[in-house]
Amino acid sequence: MTTMEGLIVDTTVVFDGGDRYVGEWPCGKGTLYSINNGMIVGEFEEGVPNGQCIHYKTNGSIYEGDMSEGLYFGKGRYWTLAGNVITGDFFNGTATGRDTMYYQTGTIYVGSMLDKKPHGEGMSVSRFRLKNRPLIYTTDSEMYHFYIGNYINGRRDKGILYKVTTPSNTVIYAGSIYFESYYRREPLSAEVAPYDMERLYFTLLQKKPLFPSPELSEEQLQFIHENCRYEEWNRGKLKKR
Per-residue pLDDT reduced to its tens digit, 65-115:
999 999 999 999 999 988 899 999 999 999 999 999 999 999 999 999 999
Most confident of 34-38, 193-197, 230-234: 34-38
Evaluate if residue 239 carries a pLDDT over 50. yes
What mean pLDDT value characterizes the chain? 85
Full 3-state SS string of 163-232: EEEECCCEEEEEEEEECCEEEEEECCCCEECCCCHHHHHHHHHHCCCCCCCCEECHHHHHHHHHHCCHHH
pLDDT per residue over 139-183, tens digit each? 456 889 999 999 999 999 888 888 888 777 777 777 777 766 655
Evaluate if residue 43 carries a pLDDT over 60. yes
For 66, counting Cβ atoms within 10 Å of its Cβ (0-12 exposed, 13-18 middle, 19+ buried), the class is: buried
Please, how many CA atoms are within 13 Å of residue 210, restricted to the half-sphere of its CB? 5
What is the largest distance, in Å, between two alpha-carbon atoms of the chain?
Answer: 76
Evaluate if residue 23 carries a pLDDT over 90. yes
DSSP state of 141: S
More confident residue, 122 or 7: 122
Task: Give the model's pLDDT for residue 137.
Answer: 43
Task: Give the model's pLDDT for residue 135.
Answer: 41
Rounded to 5°, the CA angle 189-107-80 comes to: 175
> How many other C-beta atoms are found inside a 10 Å radius of the C-beta of residue 190?
8
Task: Give the model's pLDDT for residue 184.
Answer: 53
Q: What percent of the chain has pLDDT over 90?
A: 59
DSSP-derived pairing of the beta strands 38-45 and 181-186: unpaired
**From CA 174, how far away is CA 188, in angstroms rounded?**
6
The region of weakest confidence among 23-27, 43-47, 82-86, 210-214 is 210-214
Count of positions (residues) in the chain: 241
Contact 147, 156 (CB under 8 A): yes
| Model confidence band, residue 1 (pLDDT cutoffs 50, 70, 90) | very low
Evaluate if residue 131 carries a pLDDT over 70. no
Task: Give the model's pLDDT for residue 193.
Answer: 72
Domains of the chain, first to last: 1-102+213-241 (2.20.110), 105-209 (no CATH)
The model's pTM is 0.87
Task: For the chain, list the strands marked E by DSSP.
Answer: 2-3, 6-7, 9-14, 20-25, 27-34, 38-45, 48-56, 62-68, 71-79, 85-91, 94-102, 108-114, 117-129, 142-152, 155-166, 170-178, 181-186, 191-192, 215-216, 239-240
DSSP-derived pairing of the beta strands 6-7 and 71-79: unpaired
Average pLDDT rounded to a whole number, residues 56-73: 96
| Model confidence band, residue 120 (pLDDT cutoffs 50, 70, 90) | very high
Task: Give the model's pLDDT for residue 183.
Answer: 52
Please, how many CA atoms are within 13 Å of residue 24, restricted to the half-sphere of its CB? 16
